């Protein structure tokens, strides 16, 4: 029986015991009254909405999907009613600014909420997924008039927002976008062009939809630096229908309950957001928010799949487990007693609980970046969040898909048939590795822009935080784990310097090694979190022995069975660097020529 239980106890551990979120937030005037009790109350109610309202619609929404007819989209049965309940509960406004009608609660609570919503129903959660990023973008870059007109209904959930970037010929290369914006006499712009893969571009949850569209002014230079951002509503302020239409929805592998639309703008009326030709600068506020949201999606899907697998493994009887000498009445043991199944389950658990620490940590950083009374601290937290965002997006979505695959493996043949429903998590999770910047793009962005561009300053700041914790544990019972983590930080520092030096003569080298560098940094972050978690749990063992000992055991499992991946990653970097130093043909000689040259037999065919 498919089920989902909100991870409230684990969230409480991360927020209260490990990160001391209430203590951190107490120093911010805007969140001084947000104590542990309030945070737990909010998450409990959010978990109830996820399990009682959204989860029952998950499988049915997947089976029914969205319907398109004459430009209109109908979402699966129950989605509209669920959205009304979501808005009636004030959930869209949770972490939005009070001056726009928001509740002004911490962003870290919003991160935890959207993990649960994504776990319960990924397809439905796609609709509000861009809402907070859109509000942040408009709050920072839109004119006062646009803010007053559009932020209140967005914050309340009366309206929803989209992000219109992609065009069929361009993909992720935004510099190739062709959508045009022509200035009008009244100060507005006429937007013309086509966009694809627009989540929620048309839906029946809200009457109005606010599209944030990247387009090019007539005098704009070529490339991404010539793009501007425009707000284009479905309905104009006077109630007239704007010339922005959905021309179809995609038939997808997963997230069937989410309408993925192609959009046509035929001289649609829009208004400039920010300054001309600085559209990407404004849009990155929304994009970075979306990437953190997608990281939470990967985490939530992994947890939901893990819960199904664990439940099944405890009930499924099959074969005798090794090491069970005492006679038993059953003819077979539950497969949860099999070491191979335990490995599958513990791999998932280590990444899920570690990923939850990372998302809550990033949410708390976001609160510091927005609300800390010291401007210097706010700036530092923005930089730290920008550094870790591609790591979280790529690492947690990769593990979301791998975790769902491992969960299906626990089910065996029963997982491969659709009756059990575990396949939906695998199908839904796969897109998270692609949208909001594919994970390959995240890797390149991370190494080239977050490490090499500033000569490793941001990396050094991150490593210093990790090493501070590791050095403090050097003489404790966690010393062996701390020493392994310190070895990783030293290797990361050395590898970054070596790649920078070799890139002068081997410009392809950073692109080739970007995945390894991102994943190594991800393991440094995970190991750091598990070190902190284990230390926090040690001080609470007497209060709740089973829970806190399980936390320490999971930390031990991570360092024993998973952390060793860093040796393979380091070996790849070392081999590639050696090849770059010794090869006269740059790093191209590591790849067969037929990768980039069309086969003559294919051309003839």
Q: Residue 404: which CATH number?
A: 1.20.140.10
User: Cα separations (Å) of 360 from 35, 152, 246?
Assistant: 16, 27, 36
Residue 176 · residue 169 · CB < 8 Å = yes
Q: What is the mean pLDDT of residues 393-414?
A: 98
8-17, 447-456, 534-543, 578-587: least confidently modelled range: 578-587
> What's the CA gap between 384 and 388, in Å, rounded?
6
- Predicted confidence (pLDDT) at residue 585 exceeds the cutoff of 70: no
Residue-wise over 342-369: b if at least 16 C-beta within 10 A, else e? eebbbbbbbbbbbbbbbbbbbbbbbbbb
User: Are 471 and 553 contained in the same domain?
Assistant: yes
Rounded Cα–Cα distance for residues 411 and 58 (Å): 20
Q: From CA 21, how far away is CA 545, in angstroms rounded?
A: 23
Tell me what the mean pLDDT of segment 220-228 comes to: 91
- If DSSP codes are grouped into helix, strand and coil, which group holds residue 228? strand
pLDDT at 598 over 90: no
Please check whether residues 498 and 429 belong to one and the same domain.
no
Mean local confidence (pLDDT), 484-492: 98
Q: Give yes or no for a contact between 415 and 407, defined as CB atoms under 8 angstroms apart.
A: yes
Assess whether 574 and 430 both reside in one domain: no
pLDDT at 235 over 70: yes
Q: Write down the pLDDT at residue 436.
A: 92
Task: Label residue 601 by pLDDT band (50, 70, 90).
Answer: low
pLDDT at 596 over 90: no
pLDDT of 327 reads 63
Task: Output the pLDDT for position 1.
Answer: 63
Single out the residue in 442, 460, 483 at which a domain terminates.
442
470 found inside a domain: yes
Domain contains 602: no
Domain count, the chain: 2
Residue keyed to tokens 């998950």:
58
The confidence band for 325, taking pLDDT boundaries of 50, 70 and 90, is low
Dist. CA 586–CA 228, nearest whole Å? 38
Please check whether residues 413 and 483 belong to one and the same domain: no
Residue 197 has pLDDT above 70, yes or no: yes
Tokens of 554: 């999971």
- What the block records as the tokens of 22 is 């209430």
Residue 456 half-sphere exposure toward CB, CA atoms < 13 A: 16
Q: Give yes or no for residue 605 having a pLDDT over 60.
A: no
Q: Mean of the pLDDT values across residues 524-532?
A: 98
pLDDT at 190 exceeding the cut of 60: yes
Signed CA dihedral, 67, 72, 75, 81: sign only? negative
Torsion of CA 537, 541, 547, 553, to 10 degrees: 60
pLDDT band at 331 (very low <50, low <70, confident <90, very high): confident
Q: Which of 384, 419, 442 is the last residue of a domain?
A: 442
Q: What is the pLDDT of residue 429?
A: 98
254-268 confidence digits (pLDDT tens): 999 999 999 999 999
Which region among 233-242, 291-300, 322-331, 450-459 has the lowest average model confidence (pLDDT)?
322-331
Evaluate whether residue 102 is within a structural domain: no
Domain assignment of residue 108, yes or no: no
Check whether residue 431 and residue 526 sit in a common domain.
no
Asked whether the predicted pLDDT for residue 604 surpasses 60, the reply is: no
Task: Give 448-466 pLDDT, tens digit per residue.
Answer: 999 999 999 999 999 999 9
Over residues 387-409, mean pLDDT: 98
Mean predicted lDDT score pLDDT of the chain = 94
Tokens 């930080």 correspond to 489
Rounded to a whole number of angstroms, the distance between the first and last alpha carbons of the chain is: 52
Q: Does the active-site annotation cover 202?
A: no
Q: What is the 3-state secondary structure (H, E, C) of 154-215?
A: HHHCCEEEEEECCCCCCCCCHHHCCCEEEECCCCCEEEEEEEEEEECCCCCCCCEEEEEEEE
Rounded CA-CA distance 459/455 in Å is 9
Catalytic residue from among 115, 202, 436, 516: 436
- 191 DSSP β-pair partners: 181, 268
Domain annotation covers residue 116: no
- In the structure encoding, which two tokens stand for residue 416, read together? 């491969």
3-state class percentages of the chain: helix first, strand second, coil last, to nearest 5? 60, 10, 30
502 and 402 within one domain: no
| Structure tokens given for 309 | 């697998």
Per-residue pLDDT for 589 more than 90?
no
| In a shared domain, residues 486 and 354 | no
Residue with token string 């939906």: 424
Looking at the fold, whether 433 and 457 belong to one and the same domain comes out as no
- Domain end position, chosen among 442, 466, 487: 442
pLDDT (0 to 100) of residue 603: 46
Q: Sorting pLDDT into bands at 50, 70 and 90, what band is 324?
A: confident
Q: What is the pLDDT of residue 595?
A: 78
Residue 158 and residue 135 in contact, taking contact as beta carbons nearer than 8 Å: no
The CA-CA-CA angle for residues 364, 370, 376, to 5°, reads 100
Is residue 119 a contact partner of residue 304, using CB atoms and an 8 Å limit? yes
Tell me the mean pLDDT in the region 423-427: 98
Residue pLDDT, tens place only, 130-164: 999 999 999 999 999 999 999 999 999 999 999 99
CA distance 231 to 93: 21
**Is residue 323 predicted with pLDDT exceeding 90?**
no
Domain contains 383: yes
Give φ, ψ of 468 to 5 degrees. -60, -45
Q: Is there a single domain that holds both residue 287 and residue 434?
A: yes
The answer to whether residue 41 scores a pLDDT higher than 90 is yes
Per-residue confidence (pLDDT) for residue 567, from 0 to 100 = 97
**Residue 592, domain member (yes or no):** no
Q: Whole domain around residue 342: which residue ranges?
A: 283-320+333-442
**Shared domain check, 513 and 381:** no
pLDDT mean over 567-585: 88
One-character DSSP codes across 86-152: HHHTT-TTTTS-GGGT-----HHHHHHHHHHHHHH-HHHHTTTTTHHHHHHHHHHHS-HHHHHHHHH
Is residue 70, in this structure, part of any structural domain at all? no
**Mean pLDDT value of segment 319-334:** 80
Same domain, 359 and 455: no
Helix or strand run (H / E) with residue 262 = strand 260-273
The contacts of residue 335 (CB under 8 Å, 6+ apart) are: 313, 316, 317, 318, 319, 341, 410
Are 459 and 430 in the same domain? no
Closest CA to 275 of 132, 140, 370: 140
């Amino acid at each position: 029986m498919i089920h989902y239980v909100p991870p409230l106890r684990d969230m409480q551990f991360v927020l209260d015991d490990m990160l001391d979120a209430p203590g951190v937030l107490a120093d911010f005037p805007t969140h001084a009254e947000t104590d542990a009790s309030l945070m737990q109350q909010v998450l409990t109610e959010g978990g109830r909405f996820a399990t009682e309202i959204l989860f029952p619609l998950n499988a049915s929404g997947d089976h029914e999907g969205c319907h398109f007819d004459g430009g209109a989209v109908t979402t699966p049965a129950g989605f509209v009613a669920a959205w009304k309940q979501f808005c009636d509960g004030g959930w869209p406004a949770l972490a939005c600014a009070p001056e726009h009608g928001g509740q002004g609660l911490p962003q870290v609570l919003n991160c935890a909420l959207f993990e649960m919503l994504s776990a319960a129903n990924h397809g439905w959660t796609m609709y509000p997924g861009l809402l907070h990023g859109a509000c942040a973008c408009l709050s920072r870059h839109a004119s006062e008039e646009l803010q007053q007109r559009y932020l209140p209904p967005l914050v309340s959930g009366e309206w929803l927002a989209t992000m219109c970037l992609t065009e069929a010929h361009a993909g992720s290369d935004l510099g190739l976008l062709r959508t045009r914006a022509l200035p009008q006499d009244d100060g507005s712009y006429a937007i013309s062009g086509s966009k694809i893969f627009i989540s929620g571009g048309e839906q029946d949850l809200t009457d109005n939809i606010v599209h944030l569209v990247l387009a090019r002014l007539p005098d704009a230079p070529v490339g991404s630096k010539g793009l501007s951002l425009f707000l284009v509503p479905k309905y104009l302020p006077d109630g007239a229908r704007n010339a922005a239409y959905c021309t179809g929805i995609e038939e997808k592998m997963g997230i069937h309950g989410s309408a993925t639309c192609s959009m046509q703008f035929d001289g649609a009326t829009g208004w400039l957001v920010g300054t001309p030709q600085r559209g990407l600068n404004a849009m990155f506020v929304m994009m970075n928010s979306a990437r953190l949201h997608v990281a939470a999606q990967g985490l939530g899907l992994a947890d939901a799949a893990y819960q199904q697998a664990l439940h099944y493994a405890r009930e499924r009887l099959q074969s005798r487990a090794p090491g069970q000498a005492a006679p038993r009445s059953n003819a077979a043991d539950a497969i949860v007693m099999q070491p191979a199944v335990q490995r599958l389950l513990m791999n998932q658990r280590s990444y899920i609980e570690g990923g939850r620490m990372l998302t809550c940590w990033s949410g708390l950083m976001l609160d510091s970046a927005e609300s800390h009374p010291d401007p210097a601290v706010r700036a530092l937290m923005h930089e730290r969040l920008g550094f870790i965002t591609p790591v979280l997006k790529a690492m947690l979505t990769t593990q979301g898909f791998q975790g769902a695959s491992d969960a299906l493996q626990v089910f065996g043949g029963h997982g491969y048939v659709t009756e059990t429903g575990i396949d939906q998590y695998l199908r839904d999770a796969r897109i998270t590795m692609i949208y909001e910047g594919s994970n390959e793009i995240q890797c390149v962005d991370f190494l080239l822009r977050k490490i090499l561009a500033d000569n490793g300053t941001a990396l050094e700041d991150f490593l210093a935080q990790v090493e501070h914790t590791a050095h403090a544990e050097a003489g404790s019972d966690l010393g062996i784990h701390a020493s392994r983590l310190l070895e990783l930080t030293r290797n990361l520092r050395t590898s970054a310097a070596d790649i920078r030096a070799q890139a002068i003569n081997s410009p392809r080298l950073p692109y080739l090694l970007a995945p390894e560098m991102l994943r190594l940094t991800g393991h440094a972050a995970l190991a750091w979190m598990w070190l902190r978690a284990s230390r926090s749990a040690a001080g609470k063992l007497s209060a709740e022995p089973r829970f806190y000992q399980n936390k320490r055991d999971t930390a031990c499992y991570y360092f024993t069975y998973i952390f060793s991946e860093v040796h393979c990653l380091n070996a790849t970097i070392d081999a590639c660097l050696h090849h770059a130093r010794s090869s006269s043909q740059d790093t191209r000689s590591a790849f067969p020529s037929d990768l980039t040259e069309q086969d003559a037999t294919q051309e003839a065919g």
